[in-house]
Amino acid sequence: MTFNTAVFDTHPGDRRQLERIFAKETDIRKHKGELVSCETFGSTQSMLVSPMKYDLFIVDATDKDDPESYTVNLEIAKEIRRAGVKDTPIALLFREEVNMPPSCDIPGVTLYHKPVVSAYIRELIDTVMGKKSGLPSHYEIRGQEETWYLHIDEILYAIADTPYTDVYMTEGRMAHTLEDLPVTAAYMKKETHVVRLGKRYIINTHHIKKVGNIHVIMDDGRKINLTPVDIMIIRKRMKDT
């Protein structure tokens, strides 16, 4: 499972500290197949170029010389939500010298007083990963502008657009995702009726309308040209499932 975090902090030293914490988490988790990444930003404009690819936002824009600067954190959280990020958790960090609001009415926002410790970051990652894995029959498909949470049979097929993947869904929907095809296929490997064919295609056999000698016709009418070996794999999987 991949986990992408965006860190916005106006203090370069604090950004470096969070980078070190995430680097340690990467080493701890990689043997379990958990791929943790952290991108740090000093401007919200840069952070929100592709906001939908992140699983977590960590934000601190407070100024230790201004106890009321907590309002800036709240405004950035609202800016993230206005950018179309509806459900992704946001952790707002507050310097010790700055007032921290007792609560926040922005959905999905948590509050934390610095200094940041590794245990807090680990808990954040575990919580978000737990939510991602808690819906075994549903998948999160993140396009550049929108995120969909889908049952597997709402996904028709996917086509590699290296280093990205185009995922085609029911009702004419399509997402240009920021992950390559092998990563996308890894999410779905437990679905026995979903087939990965080399580095080019993922096909949901429940949505094959017709199988030819060297092609399949999908429910949406797309013709996908394949090799004879691919067709053998498709036919076997359809028979087995």
Three-state SS letters, 52-98 = HHCCEEEEECCCCCCCCCHHHHHHHHHHHHHCCCCCCCEEEEECCCC
Domain ranges of the chain: 2-133, 141-240
Decide if 179 contacts 165 (C-beta within 8 A): yes
Q: Do 141-240 and 2-133 fall under one CATH topology?
A: no
Superfamily for the 2-133 domain: Response regulator (3.40.50.2300)
In this predicted structure, what is the pLDDT of residue 134?
Answer: 56
Q: Residue 175: which of 198, 202, 193, 195 has the closest Cα? A: 202
Instruction: Classify domain 141-240 at the CATH class level.
Output: mainly beta
Cβ burial, residue 49 (10 Å; 0-12/13-18/19+): exposed
179 forms beta bridges with none
Decide if 73 contacts 24 (C-beta within 8 A): no
Q: Residue 56: which of 106, 144, 127 has the closest Cα? A: 127
Cβ neighbours for 3, distance < 8 A, ≥ 6 positions apart: 34, 35, 36, 37, 55, 56, 125, 128, 129
Along the chain (241 residues), what's the average pLDDT of each consecutive run of 10 residues?
89 94 90 86 92 91 94 96 89 94 91 93 89 62 79 91 91 89 85 92 96 96 96 93 77
User: pTM of the predicted model, to two decimals?
Assistant: 0.60
